[in-house]
Structure 1
Amino acid sequence: MLTTLKHIPKRKFTYQYPEDPRSVEERNDRYRGIHKLPLDPEGNVKCVACFMCATACPADCITIQGGQGYQREKYPEVFEINMLRCIFCGYCVEACPEDAIQMTGITLPQYFRERQKEGEVLGSSRKDFIFDQEMLIANNDIPEQGLHPDS
């Protein structure tokens, strides 16, 4: 009983999520949000299609088909992440030797709300949750930083 009375005046650690969501500022720098594919200074995707992120993914949600070109040794012709299967563990970020995949600081529902404000209709079918290479590159404009190789 003494332990219970001692903890009553202290700050609560439980957040009532739907009613009291945490703000982005309260999250730490290793927060695991949606993915993005950063570009190198030449404007190409950093990914070299080594398949290490797809191999490390326990949910098997990353699909890569590699291609070869004369300017680059290997590059991804197809790079897709199925967000319905992704468990946001961050293993893909840790496994990537080229730092070619990062996570932003926003959640999937926040992402869809922002895109709907811009006039896009998203989230109405399952194919909207499969992020292709163009969508992942477009996520580079998201300012919130989440899990990345330097953290």
Structure 2
Amino acid sequence: RHQLNRYPDGLEKCIGCELCAWACPADAIYVEADSNTPDAQYSPGERYGRVYQINYLRCIFCGLCIEACPTRALTMTNEYELAGPTREGLIYEKQDLLAPLAEGMLAAPHPMVPGTTDTDYYRGVVTGPTPEQEAWVRAHRPDDPTLPENKVATVAKEAQA
């Protein structure tokens, strides 16, 4: 199956350009872009994929969508078995396709690394979240489970249960 990847700080790689949808010969991909704002930055740059769907009833797994992606946001995983009890279950939404947050990543939305551009992200200059990004998330979403202090509390709660 397909996966939507993230940058090391947790921002999404998809910029909502829709090239994957245009490249798909089976018309299995639907993308709807939206603009990033200072309070809701989901990916580097000005746009992100607000809606992202892949209809696996139509997908022929040709890989043309992956070749078309300019940011390497879309890749294939090693999960090849796709089956489900309903047709609706085989239409994967953005939350089904997004790569899980790796250790140390912050959940989007949050600002880009201060002093960087979207080009710095594409070139791999950004290697993880900065204290400034953590402070922004802490100020806007104090209960966010991806913050280091909330991870410790979550692990402690799970250990008590």
Q: Shorter-chain TM-score category?
A: 0.5 to 0.7
Q: Report Cα offsets for 1:103-130 as digits up to 9, x if no partner.
A: 0122134xx5xxxxxxxxxx11111000
Deviation (angstroms), 1:140: 7.9
Cα distance in structure 1, aligned partners of 2:72 and 2:85: 32
Alpha-carbon distance in 1 for matches of 2:27, 2:15 = 19
TM-score, scaled relative to structure 1: 0.59
RMSD of the alignment, in Å? 1.8
Could you tell me the TM-score, scaled by structure 2's length? 0.55
User: Which one of the candidate residues 107, 116, 125 is aligned to 2:86?
Assistant: 125
Alpha carbons 2:5, 2:99 under 8 Å: kept = no
Give the letter aligned to residue 73 of structure 1: E
Q: Which runs of 5+ in 1 are unaligned?
A: 1-33, 113-122, 142-151
Task: Give the structure with higher Rg (CA).
Answer: 1
Alignment length, in residue pairs? 96
Query: Of 55, 64, 71, which residue of structure 2 is paired with 1:98?
Result: 71
1:52 positional shift: 0.6
TM-superposed deviation, 1:44: 1.8
**Identity value in percent:** 43
Residue by residue over 1:58-103, the C-alpha shift from the partner in whole angstroms, topping out at 9 and shown as x without a partner, is 0000000100022440001100000010000000000100000000
Are the aligned partners of 2:6 and 2:99 in contact in 1 as well (CA < 8 Å)? no
Give the SS at the match of 2:53: strand
Q: Which residue of 1 aligns with 2:141?
A: none
Which residue identity lines up with residue 95 of structure 1 in the other structure? A
Alignment partner of 1:89 out of 51, 62, 67: 62
Deviation of the 1:48 alpha carbon: 0.4
- Write the distance in 1 (CA, Å) between the matches of 2:79 and 2:50: 27
Q: Which runs of 4+ in 1 moved over 4 A?
A: 138-141
Instruction: Sort the Cα spacing of 1:140 and 1:124 in 2 relative to 1 into closer, same or farther, 3 A.
Output: farther
1:37/1:139 contact within 8 Å kept? no
Distance in 1 of aligned mates of 2:96 and 2:81 = 13
Match for residue 64 of structure 1 among 28, 31, 38? 31
Contact 1:36 1:139 in 2 (8 A): no
Mapped partners of 1:65, 1:102: distance in 2 = 19
What amino acid maps onto 2:34 in structure 1? G
